[in-house]
Amino acid sequence: MRSSSYFCTSPKTPIYNCIAWAAGEDHRPWWPIPYDTAPYYWPLGEQEDESLEVFIDCFRSLGYEICDDESLEQGFEKVAIYVDEDDLPSHMARQLESGLWTSKCGNLQDITHETLSALEGGQDYGYGKVTCIMKRQRSV
């Protein structure tokens, strides 16, 4: 992740994670499998695994459908799912009405970035690669 490709938009907080932030929440972390005793939320209940399909099913339950590209479409909001080298979800981002993207970086800040590729890269550099884009009608 290149520092010139994003800017911070919130203070650091461990209260929520990138999946919750992509879904529009900022009061609890989302993940399909609980870790340790941390109270993770998942709209479809606890899952058997943390595969890409589990994340796609979750966001389908929120009204999203898979779409072709990341371009801004009036009347729609989009999310992107990044996967790591094992093809497991590692990060999510949400498109803002401006066409920019917003992400939550672990226990750190929320950031705004121009492109999804700004966060792509290997384990030491980024969040993997964007594998799935989904969209739903933007609520008024």
Lowest mean pLDDT among 38-52, 101-115, 116-130: 116-130
pLDDT tens per residue across span 25-73:
999 999 999 877 677 899 999 898 999 999 999 999 999 999 999 999 9
Question: What is the pTM (predicted TM-score) of this model?
Answer: 0.93
User: Closest Cα to residue 134, out of 49, 63, 32, 41?
Assistant: 63
pLDDT tens per residue across span 86-100:
999 999 999 999 999
Per-residue burial over 50-68, b = 16 or more CB atoms within 10 Å of its CB, e = otherwise:
eeeebbbebbeeeebeeee
Residues in CB range of 61: below 8 A, 6 or more apart = 43, 44
Report yes or no: 92 and 24 within 8 Å, Cβ to Cβ: no
CA distances, 112 to each of 15, 41, 99 (Å): 19, 24, 10
Three-class DSSP category at 119:
helix
Report yes or no: 2 and 118 within 8 Å, Cβ to Cβ: yes
